Amino acid sequence: MTVDNPYKVRNTYVTGYSGSAHVMMIEATGLTYRYGDFVAVDDISFSVAEGEILGFLGPNGAGKSTTVKMLTGQLVPARGVATVLGTDVSRHPKAVHERIGVCFEEKNLYPRMTVRENLQFFADLFDRSVDVDELIRKVDLEKWASERAEALSKGMQQRVMVARALVNDPDVLFLDEPTSGLDPVSAEQIREIIRAEKTRGKTVFLTTHNMAEADALSDRVAFINEGRIVALDTPENLKLRLGRRLLRVRTRAGDDFAEEVLPLDDDATPDRMGALLRAGGIATVHTLEATLEEVFIQLTGRKL
């Protein structure tokens, strides 16, 4: 994408993740959504740069799917604006839909149609020509192309869902918990597809409640809790800024092992370490990296 469009130039910022200027592909400004009186998404703002994967990480009910639906024009925000590829999603949903791909949380393949038919049916909704077989290769389902969707495993069905989101070769991909409920091998296959799209320069908005996944895939991670973004930064910065560095000391007395975890930055730790050293019997000492999960708990007081 070039920056000759004045709108895009205006929306060029310096982001935290690589320190250089980026064109913004997604911008949310004050997005708010209510189901009746209940505020599900409460005044959230963020932007996602071209080629970036933003992980949207939070527990069930945090407001992730509601946010995806506002960003993709399925729900109209009560307040705020969602802009995708420089276009206001609520005002011009069709223009946005031409250039984005969406994989919703709900499983919604046509069970009686084959894999190829499911993709062809969707491809026919777009003006551009689509090589469905190429798409099937991309998600490694050549052997299953003529099978009904209902005959496939959960992981394979999810790959069809992701392939369907790629049918129009979208610039921006929205994936709502694409690996939720999958076995580790299937989840990794989905992550490989996401990485391949990033390598092709695509932008990805990925929701997940899996902190390891957010850590492994995302350039930046937004923590979302009770409809609000409580932190947004690179996984490394989140862990460095907010995580506590810990020392794990294992001691041995005869056949018995004991373990103590000491905060590295605590005033009492040097004395305690000294006492353990003097007592003898230290078996191993390791520093523990903070995990995103610990940082999340520290910020919100709740688990993912």
Q: Where along the sequence are the contacts to Mg ion (CB under 5 A)?
A: 64-65, 105
Smallest distance from the beta carbon of 56 to ligand ADP, in angstroms?
8
Q: Which is nearer to Mg ion, 56 or 144 (CB)?
A: 56
Interacting partner of 66 out of ligand ADP, Mg ion, none (Cβ under 5 to 8 A depending on kind)? ligand ADP
Q: Which is nearer to ligand ADP, 62 or 166 (CB)?
A: 62
Q: Do 276 and 282 meet the contact criterion of CB atoms below 8 Å apart?
A: yes
Amino acid identity at 54: L
Cα gap 13→198, rounded to integer Å: 20
Interacting partner of 58 out of Mg ion, ligand ADP, none (Cβ under 5 to 8 A depending on kind)? ligand ADP
- Write out the two tokens for 44: 């959230």
Query: Which residue is it, tokens 């103590």?
Result: 260
Smallest distance from the beta carbon of 79 to ligand ADP, in angstroms?
16
**Footprint on this chain of ligand ADP (rule: CB under 6 A):** 35, 38, 40, 58, 60-66
Interacting partner of 60 out of ligand ADP, Mg ion, none (Cβ under 5 to 8 A depending on kind)? ligand ADP
Q: Which is nearer to ligand ADP, 10 or 107 (CB)?
A: 107
Cα gap 57→54, rounded to integer Å: 9
Smallest distance from the beta carbon of 44 to Mg ion, in angstroms?
15
Interacting partner of 239 out of Mg ion, ligand ADP, none (Cβ under 5 to 8 A depending on kind)? none
**What is the CA 166 to chain-centroid distance, rounded?**
17
Give the residue from 304, 302, 298 showing the smallest Cα distance to 245: 298
- CA distances (Å), 77 to each of 55, 57, 172, 246, in order? 21, 20, 20, 42
Three-state DSSP at 41 gives strand
Q: Which is nearer to Mg ion, 87 or 180 (CB)?
A: 180
Q: How many residues are there in the chain?
A: 304
Q: Which is nearer to ligand ADP, 77 or 86 (CB)?
A: 77
Q: Do 189 and 153 meet the contact criterion of CB atoms below 8 Å apart?
A: no
Smallest distance from the beta carbon of 181 to Mg ion, in angstroms?
12
Interacting partner of 47 out of Mg ion, ligand ADP, none (Cβ under 5 to 8 A depending on kind)? none
Sign of torsion over alpha carbons 199, 131, 72, 155: negative
Smallest distance from the beta carbon of 110 to ligand ADP, in angstroms?
24
Q: Which is nearer to Mg ion, 65 or 210 (CB)?
A: 65
Instruction: Give the residue nearest to Mg ion (CB).
Output: 65
Give every CB contact of residue 90 below 8 A, 6+ residues apart in sequence.
73, 76, 77, 81, 82
